Structure 1
């Protein structure tokens, strides 16, 4: 049996119509929104709370936590708010919960002058510089965990984690699936592209996020029970589960953010099909940064990306056979037919309105 969950990062414009990132937004600005959202009993059994206590709800502030020399959390530079769904045995139920949670977030954010907008890369800055500079304790923490050295990347990127688990998979098979999804990542990520802006202007391709991020950060994470099961790699392919509910989870991290949640349903169905598929044999432990950059610039207009995306989608559809989730793939088939992504739509809007903010206001 499969189980599904979604983590969806949301960016905002503030009451003045400006992009609400770490340069003009405080932790308190977003926390007042979180405070008004409900706390559901027993969520902590499925959703990790963490040491700082920031992640108590299905919504929490996504950012860069700051520590004093003793290791105490003293602040958090913010980039947006993340929504997490609980675990579901059905894709549509996960989508329904995400839809409900997003509606609540939008309503509460509006009370404080914030408007959710779609972007997968900070449209105005590609650099996050911690202020004040990191202290000795923080530097040591980053050096201890190699993936944390890319914190400057995740503070300017927005994207979902699409989570799947399958009850009967061994650790060896889980890791094999993680390597499979990592290899095929550059061919399937264009289905989600939504970051055509960078440094206050149109970027040269379709996904500034993918171009900057993937290869330096994981495409897929597999959560294992014991440290002995880890595979050493940078970026990481494996990670020790922090709560029992994470054991056996496959987390695909390379997609851009989507404002049409039906695309998340389609992408979860695609990942499910790839787990079931036995025809695609290539594997990789580390994402191919160069191929992701080609994909980010050209998407389905690049013939190799298009051909492989078509092959992968066909394989997933065959693997799903009579599974009712097979019909969820339809939006992806349409994208391939048209060779168009959400980024193409955002570019067209921008060319008409000549404003990034005005373009972002036409999302969600």
Structure 2
């Protein structure tokens, strides 16, 4: 099988005063000055989607809530952060190297404008995003087009990756089956990434507010198909029409929290690859289980069922990758499972040691000084 990989990674920031730079205090122009100074690679296209608004012109773009008047013309974008996306790569290592290089560029430029990249997967202060002014009639009608547009306010609070994987010449039925498999096993594998232990300015009682709030209302997995006849109706969606040819057959796993140690992204891509190759795991689901994701979000691997299932999945993946060098990339996940910890545990320890959310966030991304 010929595999292809990509990552879309959302970055949050603290401003010069040490405040969390979200929609409440940051304007589009504040992040736009950063994007303007980052390089443009013409050879990336048509592999990367630009979109109708023209915001996604580079490997980096402003992620936010787009506003409209009475047509598809975007008149404003309320920012939440900056997204980095890689091109399509044939190896996991090349994907991670490109992500690291792009993050390094972003960090270097953003610091010059007084913005420090920080890791968190749910807004630490706000639990709701209310468009201001309220949605007009055109925007209200536009949101009825898909389940994802109806819940478009949720991503304004969350920061998370899309881990993209595809296999050359795989039949669409097989791709959708893999998507439903990843959806079923999502609550058992997402703790490997948990990094959102803050809520409403305080330490939350669990490990991933993002998972608790998001998964169930939003997809765990999205499969891109070529034809409308191949779509499967579900809420949230499992399938979506590819917007450019490069998206056809792509499986996007959307339920992980963001990671500041990119070796964990490498491990998670290897995990997904192994789950694609595996033929022993029987579970399938069209939509993610909200209650199970909420249990997972609160307890992680300290929950016996989550722990046991995660171990079985990891074991199955190791078997399916037995002769594949990517098997070695799984090591960080095995360490987390052995300790029954998630990355959020380290954030919680730092919070107790440092005394504030802002100081805790300043201690993220420190592991990504080299590849």
TM-score (ref. length: structure 1): 0.99
Alignment of 1:1-364 (within 5 A): 1-364=2-365
- Mapped partners of 2:127, 2:34: distance in 1: 26
Gaps of 5+ in 2: 366-371
Secondary structure at the aligned position of 1:39 is classed as: coil
- Mapped partners of 1:312, 1:25: distance in 2: 41
Deviations 1:57-108 (A, max 9, x none): 0000000000112332111011000000000000000000000000000011
- Mapped partners of 1:144, 1:217: distance in 2: 15
Q: Conserved in 2, the CA contact under 8 Å of 1:54 and 1:60?
A: yes
Deviations 1:151-202 (A, max 9, x none): 1111000000000000131100000000000000000000000000010000
Q: Conserved in 2, the CA contact under 8 Å of 1:3 and 1:164?
A: yes
- Mapped partners of 1:334, 1:75: distance in 2: 44
Secondary structure at the aligned position of 2:45 is classed as: helix
TM-score (ref. length: structure 2): 0.97
- Mapped partners of 2:170, 2:314: distance in 1: 22
- Mapped partners of 1:245, 1:162: distance in 2: 15
Secondary structure at the aligned position of 1:349 is classed as: helix
- Mapped partners of 2:213, 2:118: distance in 1: 21
- State the 1:43 CA deviation: 1.3
- Mapped partners of 2:144, 2:229: distance in 1: 21
Gaps of 5+ in 1: none
- State the 1:24 CA deviation: 0.1
- State the 1:271 CA deviation: 0.2
Secondary structure at the aligned position of 1:38 is classed as: coil
- Mapped partners of 1:72, 1:265: distance in 2: 38
Secondary structure at the aligned position of 2:41 is classed as: coil
Secondary structure at the aligned position of 1:359 is classed as: helix
- Mapped partners of 2:73, 2:3: distance in 1: 38
- Mapped partners of 2:48, 2:138: distance in 1: 27
- Mapped partners of 1:108, 1:300: distance in 2: 38
User: Number of aligned pairs?
Assistant: 364
Secondary structure at the aligned position of 1:278 is classed as: coil
Secondary structure at the aligned position of 1:65 is classed as: strand
Q: Conserved in 2, the CA contact under 8 Å of 1:44 and 1:56?
A: no
- Mapped partners of 2:25, 2:45: distance in 1: 31
